[in-house]
Structure 1
Amino acid sequence: MIRADWIAADWGTSNLRVWAMQGREILAEASSDAGMNTLARDEFEGALLALISDWIDGPTDVIACGMVGSRQGWTEAKYQPVPCKPAGHMVAAPTQDSRLNVRILSGVSQATPADVMRGEETQIAGFLVQNPDFDGVLCMPGTHTKWARISAGELCHFATAMTGEMFQLLSERSVLRHSMGDGWDDAAFLAGLDETLSRPERIATSLFSLRASGLLNGEDGAAARARLSGLLLGAELAAMKPYWLGQEVALIGATKLNEIYQSALATVGLTVRAFDGTEMVLAGLAGAREAL
């Protein structure tokens, strides 16, 4: 029988992930598709208890991050403006079950240019627990990739690229879906990357050439898929050049995405370290709990 000292929760738009914790040790983990988008405000507590009720016996701290703290979430954890210490503020969520003591970490906002993040700030905090002297840029690949400038233990400014979402939409819902296949082609990826990294203004015409190449030249689906990824990531790197040029850069994300970004950044002369996103979010949640 598992008895958690506390519960870590990463609560996104589509999914909920929880871990039974003893200090920084993971005792058990569970997940569900009870993301923020699927729940009314009075349903969050039940969705959480459905996963953790067997792990708790008395009053138990639950430290949560992500969209659970949005305006549509369990309770709003207002954004903290940059510059700030990431995951440095949290709010209590209302509960009915006396075993629960739920706190939700605030996201981070930026006034100019306007930008927000929820969840990534906790990964940044976890990274800084392990790398307290880091001075450089963190890139967090995902549906909405974040580039964040870190100095003196603070998040100074950041920018978001919708590269992952654009890839999903273009590959699954646009005319380009007819050209997409499975697998991967490194040469096609690098060719697409070089094309828009050097000439990002050509992104719209470069994208349609994928469809035309499939029709006229028989380009296979794996090459088309990899080239699409390269075209989009090249445009992102061109836009984010002020973040990575002359900076120490580290990646935080899933292994596959980290590898793609490592390959792309190598073409501009950067050798970057990669860190697992789940490991970093757990370190950030543990740090927040220890700061209570």
Structure 2
Amino acid sequence: MQPDWIAVDWGTTRLRVWAMSGAQPVAARASDKGMGGLTPEGFEPALLELIADWLPDRGQMPVIACGMVGARTGWAEAEYRATPCTPLDPHRATRPPVRDARLDPRILPGLSQAEPADVMRGEETQIAGFLAAQPDFDGTLCLPGTHCKWVAIRAGRVERFQTFMTGELFSLISRQSVLRLTIGDAATDDEAFAAAASRAMADPNAAHAGLFALRAGALLHDLGAEKAAGALSGLLIGAELGAARDFWHDRTTIVIGAPALARLYETPLRAAGADAAHLDGGELVLAGLTAARTALQEKP
């Protein structure tokens, strides 16, 4: 099997690759060799472990990569393009040094914002994948995860964006603070989540004021771990939604992510009267990488 090119999504913890025939994936592989566990010299061997049998005996194989592979501690640092701008410009991709002459890799640039200072790597490719299917979209994209990105889109361009560390905060608080004694690895209770999210959206002080009450509630009133987990998630996400109101108020908002996580954002948004829906982002990175490959085949 000889692909036309190879698409690569290289994050902090995972590496995903697709053998591509034009715009169609014909094979996919993955490993746990993300950027966070590699030195710059380790990227090429980690990639070859997955794709060596896809490479030609002669000539070069185009490889289009996005994500943390282009971070300062990645394979090679890719630039940040200043917003407002289109989500992708593959002609400004970085070409890391390679030892295997069959590889022709390009790392797509990320995006930056001068004020307030912000950056993204990888999400811009998801945004490009979304816009490839909906080029006339005018509204807001919300991309939740460890670090959630709120992105204002107009006329095919990223106008502005803001990052919230909500996912990382939940992990730190639930696993390393005193609340670990109450929550542990419990699943979130939907009713407790909804009530806490509504409270935090209405009151910007609710999140800070309500955190220790979860521990006290467990000690005094036998508050269960699932209800505490739901309340913690609701307080943090509700506070984020309140702070991001300028992005979603009176604007169509699409939450892009795994369905369970996306619904944690969509449900309180809709309860607050927002025009919100969610979309599974699983295929959008590949759609964005494909759009980059198509642009590279055209003249700059």
Could you state the TM-score of these two structures normalised by the residue count of structure 1? 0.97
For residues 51-108 of structure 1, the C-alpha deviation after alignment (integer angstroms, 9 at most, x for no partner) is 1111222421110001111111111111000011112131212111121110000000
Percent of matched pairs sharing the same residue: 51
| Alignment correspondent of 1:248 | 252
For residues 90-146 of structure 1, the C-alpha deviation after alignment (integer angstroms, 9 at most, x for no partner) is 121211112111000000000000000000000001101000000110000100000
| Alignment correspondent of 1:204 | 208
Structure 1 letter corresponding to 2:171: Q
Structure 2 letter corresponding to 1:260: L
Distance (Å, rounded) in 1 between the aligned partners of 2:288 and 2:106: 14
Distance (Å, rounded) in 1 between the aligned partners of 2:21 and 2:279: 23
| 8 Å contact from structure 1 (residues 123, 281) kept in 2 | yes
SS in 2 for 1:63: strand
Structure 1 letter corresponding to 2:70: G
Structure 1 letter corresponding to 2:118: D
Q: Which runs of 5+ in 2 are unaligned?
A: none
Selected match of 2:100 from 90, 97, 100: 97
1:176 aligns with 2:179: yes
Distance (Å, rounded) in 2 between the aligned partners of 1:184 and 1:210: 13
| 8 Å contact from structure 2 (residues 250, 275) kept in 1 | no
| Alignment correspondent of 2:140 | 137
| Alignment correspondent of 2:269 | 265
1:8 aligns with 2:10: no
Per-residue deviation, 1:183? 3.1
| Alignment correspondent of 1:288 | 292
1:154 aligns with 2:157: yes
Deviates more, 1:259-268 or 1:102-111: 259-268
| 8 Å contact from structure 2 (residues 206, 235) kept in 1 | no
SS in 2 for 1:251: strand
Aligned-pair Cα RMSD in Å: 1.2
Structure 2 letter corresponding to 1:135: D
Per-residue deviation, 1:271? 4.1
| 8 Å contact from structure 1 (residues 262, 271) kept in 2 | no
Selected match of 2:241 from 228, 237, 240: 237
| Alignment correspondent of 1:74 | 75
Deviates more, 1:33-42 or 1:120-129: 33-42
Distance (Å, rounded) in 1 between the aligned partners of 2:232 and 2:174: 8
Distance (Å, rounded) in 2 between the aligned partners of 1:195 and 1:259: 18
1:117 aligns with 2:120: yes
Distance (Å, rounded) in 2 between the aligned partners of 1:108 and 1:154: 11
Distance (Å, rounded) in 2 between the aligned partners of 1:270 and 1:199: 18
Distance (Å, rounded) in 2 between the aligned partners of 1:184 and 1:39: 33
Deviates more, 1:265-274 or 1:249-258: 265-274
| Alignment correspondent of 2:194 | 190
| 8 Å contact from structure 1 (residues 141, 252) kept in 2 | yes
Deviates more, 1:194-203 or 1:241-250: 194-203
SS in 2 for 1:243: helix
Distance (Å, rounded) in 1 between the aligned partners of 2:28 and 2:161: 31
| 8 Å contact from structure 2 (residues 66, 121) kept in 1 | yes
Per-residue deviation, 1:37? 1.8
Q: Which runs of 5+ in 1 are unaligned?
A: none
Distance (Å, rounded) in 1 between the aligned partners of 2:181 and 2:293: 48
Distance (Å, rounded) in 2 between the aligned partners of 1:27 and 1:129: 20
| Alignment correspondent of 1:165 | 168
Distance (Å, rounded) in 1 between the aligned partners of 2:148 and 2:187: 23
Distance (Å, rounded) in 1 between the aligned partners of 2:203 and 2:263: 24
